[in-house]
Amino acid sequence: MPNANEDNPSALNQVQRRAVSELLRVSPVADDLARRFQDAGFTLALVGGSVRDALLGRLGNDLDFTTDARPEDVLRIVRPWADSVWEVGIAFGTVGSQKDGYQIEITTYRSEAYDRTSRKPEVSYGRTIEEDLVRRDFTVNAMAVALPQNDFIDPHGGRDDLAARVLRTPGTPEDSFSDDPLRMLRAARFAAQLDFEVAPDVIAAMTAMADRIEIVSAERIRDELNKLLLSTYPRKGLALLVDTGLAERILPELPALRLESDEHHRHKDVYEHSLTVLEQAIDLEEDGPDLILRLAALLHDIGKPRTRRFEKDGRVSFHHHEVVGAKLTKKRMTALKYSNDLIRDVSRLVELHLRFHGYGTGEWTDSAVRRYVRDAGPLLGRLHKLTRSDCTTRNKRKANALSQAYDGLEDRIAQLQEQEELDSIRPDLDGNQIMEILGVGPGPVIGAAYTFLLELRLENGPMERDAAITALKEWWATQE
């Protein structure tokens, strides 16, 4: 590798040491593959995110390579060597494979650009690695290590930008974003993942070209948004999307939360509140990033702009914003092509996020607690986290009171669950038993009887069989 930059030699020397360590770890597989390409008359280089992550000391088992070999040649070389091979990305010049626990992607040198009327990039193959690197999104992703000789290739100063923690484009940002507008979202995503700053000229181009994102498919936008949300610093990326106007095109409900207030009608900044709730929800995660929880935290108040009312006493109300917000969440997530299961779960959490505030200091009956658990279903753990995260007041006494109240609710839920198996609440009689007792066959009446018994179960807790039969017969007598 070249000598360290004189302006920051210690930072770059540390970067070099980390990179050497990481490359030595993967070299048995990478060098073996490179020699096979070399023997076949082709070149191979570790490239892009793999080089960036090696320099950052965080290279995983996903390795990206670039080559002058065409896809059909790559397949011919890789098939006898790899444990498995797949061709999902071959239309874009990419061959995937697995070897000794490493996930490997090999892409032919290429250049690609968007037709202004098309949602898909047009791919053409390049002839040199320099030609390939200049078409990449950011300088920190436009570095390569030629194998097996380990020559470091950095024509655009990516290593210096990595040390400075800044995102720049290899060419002009206007050309880069014109070629692939999704790169504007990738700028926000990398800022959130790596905690990097985005160069001023890149931000200016994102702002000026924000409407260009509309040509990108909803699926690609959704995938980038997910990566941003699941990153370490999502607030940073989301704020960049809002400030540049990109959020207005892909998630307009987010910038809409920046509600204006005046001296007569004051309320908390809903936009800042939502970002804080997201961060607080992340702090409560126990098993790694949770997309459902993070989406719900970000979107939980998106019904407020539609429901804001100025009351005569100077207060501002947002009645039923959770119901409106659930509908808006479903609509936006549907437009972004999320799965039905994910839409259902996030919308449900948005709908339920205010339910706890009727709990007060423990006035709920046991039946109300049972309904809370039943309505949350498998989302109860996430609802606990979302509800706790939704407290952003600076009033410590109020915050402590809310926390203690929710502690009390969770204790009651735990006690009832131990007694009654709340997670799988069912009536005390099943459908077959209902039909046998009433002497009727399948039909709507059995569903009505089942609902009656379920409500009875929620209200009173478990019943003895004889008591349930008596209650069912009394209900049946009123139906005839």
Pure H helices in 87-233:
129-134, 158-164, 173-179, 182-194, 200-208, 218-229
First to last CA, the chain: 88
Kindly report the number of other CB atoms within 10 A of residue 404's CB atom: 12
Residue scoring higher pLDDT (26 or 207): 207
pLDDT of residue 253: 96
Q: Are residues 92 and 215 in the same domain?
A: no
Q: In terms of domains, do 204 and 175 share one?
A: yes
Residues 402 and 444 in one domain: no
Do 263 and 409 fall within a single domain?
A: yes
Buried b (16+ CB within 10 A) or exposed e, 108-145: bbbbbebeeeeeebeeebbeebeebbbbbbbbbbbbbb
Contacts of 180 (CB under 8 A, 6+ apart): 112, 113, 114, 121, 137
pLDDT in tens, 124-166: 788 899 989 998 999 999 999 999 888 889 999 999 999 999 9
Query: pLDDT by residue (tens digit) across 379-402?
Result: 999 999 999 999 887 778 888 888
More confident residue, 467 or 70: 70
The predicted pLDDT at position 235 comes to: 97
Number of residues written out for the chain: 480
Question: In this structure, are 293 and 176 located in the same domain?
Answer: no
Residues 410, 442 within the same domain? no
Task: Supply the CATH number for residue 214's domain.
Answer: 1.10.110.30
The average pLDDT across 261-277 equals 72
Compute and round to an integer the Cα radius of gyration of the chain: 29
The pLDDT tens digits of the residues spanning 58-79 come to 888 999 999 999 999 999 999 9
* Residues 21 and 69 placed together within one structural domain of the fold: yes
State the Cα–Cα distance between residues 84 and 28, nearest whole angstrom: 18
* Phi, psi torsion values for 85, nearest 5 degrees: -135, 140
Among 164, 180, 200, give the residue marking a domain's end.
Answer: 164
Number of domains in the chain: 4
Ranking 178-187, 274-283, 452-461 by mean pLDDT, the lowest is 452-461
Distance CA 294, CA 312 (A): 36
* Residue 224 sits in the same domain as residue 239: yes
In terms of domains, do 338 and 446 share one?
no
The DSSP secondary structure of 364-376, one letter per residue, reads --HHHHHHHHHHH
pLDDT exceeds cutoff 90 at 100: yes
Q: Can you give the pLDDT at residue 12?
A: 52
Would you say 67 and 77 are in contact if contact means Cβ atoms under 8 Å apart? no
Task: Note whether 411 and 274 are same-domain residues.
Answer: yes
Domain that holds residue 413: 258-424
Other C-beta atoms lying within 10 Å of the C-beta of residue 217: 12
Is 463 found in the same domain as 371? no
DSSP structural state of residue 305: H
